[in-house]
C-alpha cells in the first residue's frame, strides 16, 4: 500500500524521483521520505505530511544527487511520525519497504541483543539492520539480501541504497509488486509502473522471490534459487498514466464523470449491433466456460460488491450456479471445489494481496480455469490467471472507487451475455433487449450524472448525521452495500446496508426521526415489495433519499425523491450506482473531508 521509487543515473534525479513518488501518493499518504546520494554522502529527508511537504524540504535544503530512493507511507506498524517514516537507516544503508514482515519482533530482539539500536516502531527498520548485520559479517550486499529473504517471513517489496557503493540499488520482491523501468540515461524501480510512465515505456516485472541489482547501464536479476536469470521486457501500451484533474477539483469528481465514456469503450470493445465481436476477449472467456457448471467469484471491498451483482446476473440469465466470497476468508478456509467449476477474481489494481493469494490457491485447486477481471494489464493478477478480461477504466487515482467499479459490473454483464448467448438461454427478443440495454448504458449514465444539483441538495440530510442506512432489493442490495461503503470511506459517517426484506429481522430497531435512509428503487419485479418496506420504515421515522424509476408511486413522507432516467432492470445496478457515488461525494464536501485521500485508507491494498 506504500509507494516506492528509485533511480540510478549520472545526472541529477531529484525532480524525477519526487515527481514519480507524487504519482504514487494515492497508495499511502501518512508520511514521505527520500534518501539521495549527492556524490559524497547520503542525505535522508522525511516529512510527516504529503509529498509536497517533502518536495519543499528538498528544495529548502538544495538537495541534489544522481542516485536516490523515495517512499510514501501507509502506516501498518507504528504511528505516522518522522521516526517511523521511510527510508530507514543502519550504518551506510538506507532502505524503503512496502509490505509486512511478520516475524519482525523476533528478528528485532535478536538484532538488539547484538547491539543494534532501533529508532522506530516499524517492522521495516528490522530489514535494514538485518542487512547491516550480514554485511558486517563479511557477506556481499547481494548475498546479504539473498540471505535476508530466507529469514524474513511475510511480504516485502524493498529497495536498498548503500552509500559505500552508490552506483547501484538492490531490490527484492515477495508478495509485493516491484517493477524495473529501463531508460536512456537512467534506470528506475518502483512499486507501480504508472509512476515511471513519463520516463520510460520499457519495464521488467520482477517475479515472486526475485532479487536484483540495478545500475545505470545494467540490470542483474536472481531467482529464488539464487541463479541469475533474464526476465522479459514489456512495452507499456495501456492508458493508465495519470493525466491530472483537468477541469475538475478532485480526481474522484473527474472519475465519476468519466464513467459514461469508459463504460462505452468497454462495451464497444466486445459487442456490435448483432452480438459479440468475433475473437473478442469476452467471446474467448465464454468459450473457456462452455463446459463449466459452477462459477466461484472471489474479491475484496468494492470488487466483492461487483461479484455479488454478477451472481444475480449469471444465475438469472446464464443459468449457472454462482458463489461469491471475500478473498481474505477464501484464502484461509478449506474450499470444496465442485467438478467443472471456474474461478473468477476481481481487482482494480490486480495487486490486492488477499485476492492474489486466493488466485494462487485457486491455481493449485481443481478449477477448470482461473479468470482475472482487472484494470491493469501489467498486474500480477493478470499475469497469474489463466485468462483475463481488462475493464479499460483508465487510471483511477481517487481512493474511493467509481469508474473501476462500474466497469467491473459492465465486464460481468458482458460475460453474462456471452454465456447466455452460448448456452441458448435467451429468446430472440430477450437477446435483442439485452444488447440494446448494454448499448444504452453510457447515455443513461450521462442522464444520471445530470442529476447532480438534486443530489447535492439531498445530501444535506446527512449534514448532522452520524449514521445512515442504505436499502435495496435483488441486485440493488449489493449496490446498497457499495453506497454505504462510499459514504463511510468519504465522509466517515457510519453506514449500514441491508436487503430491504431483512428490516424486520433487527434493523428496524435503528430507525428514529433523525436517521437518514437511502433507497434505490428501479422499476423491477420486486418494486412493490420494496414500496412496502419503505412504508414500514416511514411508519417509524427516518428521513429518506429515494432514487426512483420515473412514474413509480412510492411513499413520500419525509422523502427527497429523485427521479432516475428510464433504465432496463438488467442494467439498473450500473446506472443506479452513480447517484450513490455522487451523494457520498457531496456529503464529504459538506463535511469538509479530503475527497481523494480519505483518512487511514490507500488505493491499492497490497498488504494483508
Which residues are identified as catalytic? Answer: 2, 603
Cβ atoms within 10 Å, residue 249: 11
**SS3 (DSSP) at 547:** strand
DSSP string, 469-496: EEEE-TTHHHHHHHHHHHHHHHH--EEE
Residues 398/251, Cβ–Cβ less than 8 Å: yes
Element (H, E) at 580: helix 577-591
Which one, of 44, 29, 175, lies nearest residue 98 by Cα? Answer: 175
546 bridge partner residues:
519, 561
Beta strands in 426-572 (DSSP E): 467-472, 494-499, 516-521, 543-548, 559-563
Q: What is the CA radius of gyration of the chain?
A: 25
Instruction: Give the number of other CB atoms < 10 A from CB of residue 422.
Output: 15
Q: Which of 452, 446, 454 is nearest to 561 (CA)?
A: 454
- If we measure between CA atoms, which residue out of 254, 267, 273 comes closest to residue 413? 267
Other C-beta atoms lying within 10 Å of the C-beta of residue 426: 17
Grid coordinates standing for 12?
Answer: 541529477
| Region for 246 from its dihedrals, namely left if φ exceeds 0, alpha if ψ lies in -120 to 50, beta otherwise | left
Q: H-helix or E-strand containing 220? A: strand 218-222
| CA atoms of 279 and 287, how far apart (whole Å) | 10
Indicate the length of the chain as a whole number.
Answer: 608
Q: How far is CA 395 from the centre of its chain?
A: 11
- CA dist 464 and 10 (Å) reads 57
Element (H, E) at 59: helix 51-60
Kind and range of the H or E run holding 575: helix 572-575
**What whole-number distance in Å separates Cα of residue 295 and Cα of residue 289?**
9
Q: How many CB atoms lie within 10 A of CB 105?
A: 12
Amino acid at each position: 500500500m506504500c509507494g516506492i521509487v528509485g533511480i540510478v543515473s549520472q545526472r541529477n534525479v531529484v525532480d524525477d524521483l519526487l515527481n514519480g513518488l507524487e504519482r504514487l501518493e494515492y497508495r499511502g499518504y501518512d508520511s514521505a521520505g527520500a534518501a539521495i546520494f549527492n556524490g559524497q554522502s547520503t542525505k535522508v529527508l522525511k516529512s510527516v505530511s504529503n509529498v509536497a511537504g517533502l518536495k519543499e524540504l528538498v528544495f529548502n535544503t538544495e538537495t541534489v544527487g544522481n542516485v536516490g530512493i523515495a517512499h510514501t507511507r501507509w502506516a501498518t506498524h507504528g504511528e505516522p511520525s518522522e521516526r517511523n517514516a521511510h527510508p530507514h537507516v543502519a550504518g551506510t544503508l538506507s532502505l524503503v519497504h512496502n509490505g509486512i514482515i511478520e516475524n519482525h519482533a523476533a528478528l528485532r530482539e535478536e538484532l538488539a541483543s547484538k547491539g543494534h539500536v532501533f529508532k522506530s516502531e516499524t517492522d521495516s527498520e528490522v530489514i535494514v539492520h538485518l542487512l547491516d548485520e550480514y554485511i558486517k559479517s563479511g557477506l556481499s550486499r547481494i548475498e546479504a539480501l539473498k540471505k535476508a529473504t530466507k529469514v524474513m517471513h511475510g511480504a516485502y517489496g524493498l529497495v536498498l541504497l548503500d552509500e559505500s557503493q552508490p552506483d547501484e540499488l538492490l531490490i527484492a520482491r515477495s508478495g509485493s509488486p516491484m517493477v524495473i523501468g529501463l531508460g536512456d540515461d537512467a534506470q528506475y524501480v518502483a512499486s507501480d509502473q504508472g509512476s515511471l510512465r513519463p520516463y520510460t515505456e520499457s519495464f521488467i516485472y520482477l517475479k515472486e522471490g526475485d532479487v536484483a541489482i540495478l545500475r545505470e547501464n545494467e540490470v542483474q536479476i536472481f531467482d529464488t534459487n539464487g541463479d541469475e536469470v533474464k526476465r522479459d521486457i514489456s512495452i507499456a501500451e495501456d492508458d493508465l498514466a495519470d493525466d491530472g484533474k483537468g477541469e475538475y477539483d478532485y480526481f474522484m469528481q473527474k472519475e465519476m464523470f468519466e464513467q459514461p465514456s469508459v463504460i462505452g469503450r468497454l462495451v464497444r470493445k466486445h459487442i456490435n449491433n448483432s452480438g459479440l465481436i468475433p475473437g473478442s476477449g469476452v467471446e474467448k472467456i465464454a468459450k473457456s466456460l462452455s463446459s463449466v457448471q459452477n462459477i466461484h467469484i472471489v474479491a475484496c471491498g468494492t470488487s466483492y460488491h461487483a461479484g455479488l451483482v454478477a451472481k444475480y446476473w449469471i444465475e438469472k440469465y446464464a443459468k449457472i450456479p454462482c458463489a461469491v466470497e471475500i478473498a481474505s476468508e477464501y484464502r484461509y478456509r478449506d474450499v470444496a471445489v465442485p467438478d467443472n467449476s471456474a474461478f473468477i477474481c476481481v481487482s482494480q489494481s490486480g495487486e490486492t494481496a488477499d485476492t492474489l493469494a486466493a488466485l494462487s490457491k485457486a491455481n493449485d485447486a481443481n478449477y477448470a480455469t482461473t479468470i482475472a477481471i482487472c484494470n491493469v494489464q501489467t498486474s500480477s493478477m493478470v499475469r497469474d490467471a489463466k485468462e483475463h478480461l481488462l475493464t479499460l477504466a483508465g487510471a483511477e487515482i481517487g481512493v474511493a472507487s467509481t469508474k473501476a467499479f462500474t466497469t467491473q459490473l459492465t465486464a460481468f454483464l458482458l460475460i453474462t451475455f456471452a454465456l447466455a448467448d452460448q448456452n441458448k438461454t435467451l429468446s430472440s427478443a430477450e437477446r435483442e433487449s439485452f444488447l440494446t440495454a448494454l448499448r444504452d448504458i453510457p447515455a443513461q449514465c450521462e442522464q444520471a450524472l445530470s442529476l447532480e444539483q438534486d443530489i447535492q441538495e439531498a445530501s444535506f440530510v446527512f449534514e448532522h448525521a452520524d449514521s445512515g442506512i442504505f436499502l435495496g432489493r435483488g441486485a440493488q442490495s449489493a449496490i446498497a452495500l457499495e453506497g454505504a461503503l462510499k459514504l463511510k470511506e468519504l465522509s466517515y459517517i457510519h453506514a449500514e446496508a441491508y436487503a430491504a426484506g431483512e428490516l424486520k429481522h433487527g434493523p428496524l430497531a435503528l430507525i428514529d426521526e433523525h436517521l437518514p435512509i437511502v433507497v434505490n428503487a428501479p422499476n423491477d419485479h420486486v418494486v412493490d415489495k420494496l414500496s412496502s418496506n419503505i412504508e414500514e420504515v416511514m411508519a417509524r421515522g427516518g428521513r429518506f433519499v429515494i432514487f426512483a424509476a420515473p412514474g413509480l408511486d412510492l411513499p413520500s413522507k419525509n422523502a427527497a425523491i429523485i427521479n432516475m432516467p428510464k433504465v432496463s432492470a438488467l442494467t439498473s445496478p450500473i446506472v443506479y450506482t452513480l447517484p450513490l457515488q455522487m451523494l457520498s461525494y457531496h456529503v464529504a464536501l459538506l463535511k469538509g473531508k479530503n475527497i481523494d485521500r480519505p483518512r487511514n485508507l490507500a488505493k491499492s491494498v497490497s498488504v494483508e
